[in-house]
Structure formats: structure tokens, C-alpha cells
Amino acid sequence: MRLLRRREPSVDAHALAPSVVPSLGNGWTRPITSDDYRELLEFLRAPQTPSADPDFYVGWDGIRTRVAMLPFAPTDLAGSVSTDLPIPDDGYRSEAEEYVALAQAISTADGTFRIVEIGAGWAPWAVAGVVIARRQGLRASGIAVECDETRSSWALQHAADNGVTAELITGTTDEIAERLAQPWGDIELRIIRAAGWHQRTTLQFPELDEGDMGGAVWTLPGTDVDYRGAHLTHHAVPTAALADLLAGDDVLDLLHVDVQGVESELLITAADAIQAHTRLMAVGTTDRGNEGRLQEFFLKRGWGLAIDEPCTTHFTMTHPTLAGFTVQDGLQLWENPFLRKDFPG
């Protein structure tokens, strides 16, 4: 394509320029690059790797996962123990960046560690966060939000398999909020059978088979089609509002969000509650539009983007949304500088 030179305007450009140019970001957050990954990931390594078990996959971080909860993963994971760092990925679930986000959150926590995982599945990040933070001498707690009945039951089992004291909370959206406001007692992890959302309401969620990890609380208006174009039966689910999930005296060290296509709608709408409580936010991104909207919005608020790994898409066949073309989620790790103790002012 031939490049044409654009004619310069004849008006005085200085007269039209704003007196102050808006800035994006904070000039404070240090990007985390691949050169940093190995040191951060070593921080998560278990001091002693647990022994093999025929029903489990054991990672270098010491977390035990029942392979029956991983119908999408290679069957030879059962009974295996890995001592390898997940670079570039762990071979069955997640890329290095998600583990790095967890390591960054735990390694910079101060006395306590809190994690909230939205779209949790079997709660791998919430459970790992509690186990590893506790191992580092921190007082750890977490909330895992998952609206699928099977997967929320798996989360309860996954917690027990790793020695985490957990409870399952169900009910209406108001009943869930009321329970969240009550004392924790000896509970380390609360598993909420609901959809994480920006308000208390009821949403529709698809009926999924055990191998489908791509469900989302959204349907095309007037149809049974999800964001990928799949025709699925949907049912009503209560929500757990982010403001209720984030409330507490301790700072939230990591908000982990994996909601398959509605990440910008959720996080931008709930931004005030997030900014008041959350230090770091790891977001699984599902299309370039969502990635751009989050960048534009949170950079304007002064947040820093420490990791920006775009999603991977294959524009084949047809889908009703951009997220439907995504074959591998991206990851954005956001830092809220206003909750850093060393941040000026």
C-alpha cells in the first residue's frame, strides 16, 4: 500500500492543544518481564515435593490436584510429580504469567494474604494462594466464586486435598451477601456457588459437561446461544457482588478473574470497589476489545500494567462475538499503586 503524506493543517495547532495532556498509568509500576519469571516462580516452589499418588498430579509448588477434575488434561498426569517450573506453561492448564501473578502477590504481601478468585472452577489459584502464603508465614484466606455445581464441589474437594479448611456457601444473592459479612472462624477458604458480578442480581449460566471450561454468564438476547455460538441450555444463578466479596479490614492482595468474555463489563462497572480494596488484579482476557477497554480505563485511573500478554485468536469459521475466536486467553496483571505503602502521597 502506497503511503501518502498528509497535508498539515494551516491553523495554529498550539491554539487548539489542551493546556494539560492527560496521562495514562502512574510512572511507578515496574513491568514484570520474562527475565523476572524464574526468580518469582522459584518463590512458589515447595521446600519438599510431596510423594506421588496414583490419583493426583503434584506440581513443583507442592499443590496436589485430582486428575479426575481435569478431563481436558492428558491422562498420564495421574500419579506424576513435576519439579519443572511452568515455563512457558505447565503443560495442561496455565501459562507462566498466571503463576507469576500469584508469586508477585504473595511475595509482596505484608503479614496477611487475601485472594479472591472469580470464575474459579475447582479453585486452583485460591487454594494455591492460601497454601503457599501460609507456608511463607502469612495469615492467609481466600474466596473462590464458581456458579457451576460440579466445579464448586470440586473446589471443596481440592481444598481438602491440600489441607485447606473450607466451606461451601449457597443461597440467594442476598443470603450469600449476608453470609459473607459473618465472621470466618477457623475457615481459610469460602467457596461461593454463584456468579461473580458487579451487583446483586440473577444471571443465566449454561449447562456444561465436565470438560467444558469456557462457560460464561451471558447469552445472546432472546436465544440459547452463548458467546462462542454454542447452543446450550441455561439456568438462573445468583450473583455474588464484587463489593461484598472485596469488603474486609485487610487489603485484598490478588483479585483473579476468569469470566470468559465479560471481564471489562464486570471490572469497569465495579472499579470503585476494586480500587478501594485491591492491590493486584490478574485478568484472563478473551479478546482484543476487552484488552483495550481495560487498558484505556485502568491506565486512566492511575493503575500500572505489570504484565500484558495478549490472547491468541484464530479467525476461522464464524462466531457471534470476538471472544468466540479466542483459542488461548491472555493475561493482564494490574497494580493499584494507591495501596502501596511506599507510593508518594
Task: Give the separation between CA 8 and CA 11, rounded to whole angstroms.
Answer: 9
* Amino acid making up residue 203: L
More confident position, 229 or 293 = 293
All 3 cell numbers of residue 36? 523476572
DSSP-derived secondary structure letter, 197: E
Q: Is 151 helix (H, G, I), strand (E, B) or coil?
A: helix
Give the single-character DSSP code of 2.
Answer: P
Residue bearing the bigger pLDDT, 231 or 147: 147
Distance separating alpha carbons of residues 106 and 66, to the nearest angstrom = 24
Residue 44: all three cell numbers together: 512458589
pLDDT score recorded for residue 344: 81
What pLDDT score was predicted for residue 211?
55
| 263-289 as b/e: b if 16+ CB within 10 A | bbebbbebbebbbebbbbbbbbbbbbe
Q: Are 256 and 282 in contact (CB under 8 A)?
A: yes
CA atoms of 29 and 279, how far apart (whole Å): 12
- Surface-to-core class of residue 23, CB atoms within 10 Å of its CB (0-12 exposed, 13-18 middle, 19+ buried): exposed
Q: Who contacts 66 (Cβ-Cβ below 8 Å, separation ≥6)?
A: 55, 56, 154, 157, 158, 161
CB atoms within 10 A of CB 119: 25
Give the cell for residue 245: 466479596
List pLDDT tens digits, range 66-119. 999 998 888 889 999 999 999 999 988 899 999 999 999 999 999 999 999 999
| SS3 label, residue 110 | coil
d(CA 79, CA 57): 6
> In a 3-state reduction of DSSP, which class is residue 341?
coil
Find all residues with CB under 8 Å of 331, minimum gap 6, and list them.
95, 97, 98, 101, 282, 283, 284, 285, 307, 309
Residue 9: predicted pLDDT: 43
Length of the chain as a residue count: 345
Per DSSP bridges, beta strands 139-145 and 189-192 are parallel
Instruction: Dig out the grid coordinates for 43 from the structure.
Output: 518463590
Domains and CATH numbers, the chain: 96-339 (3.40.50.150)
Q: How far apart are CA 230 and CA 228, in angstroms?
A: 6
The per-residue pLDDT for range 13-67, each reduced to its tens digit, is 344 444 455 678 888 899 999 999 999 999 999 999 888 999 999 999 999 999 9
304-343 pLDDT, tens digit per residue, is 999 999 877 777 777 666 666 666 788 999 999 999 888 8
**Conformation bin of residue 172: beta by default, left when phi > 0, alpha when psi is -120 to 50:** beta
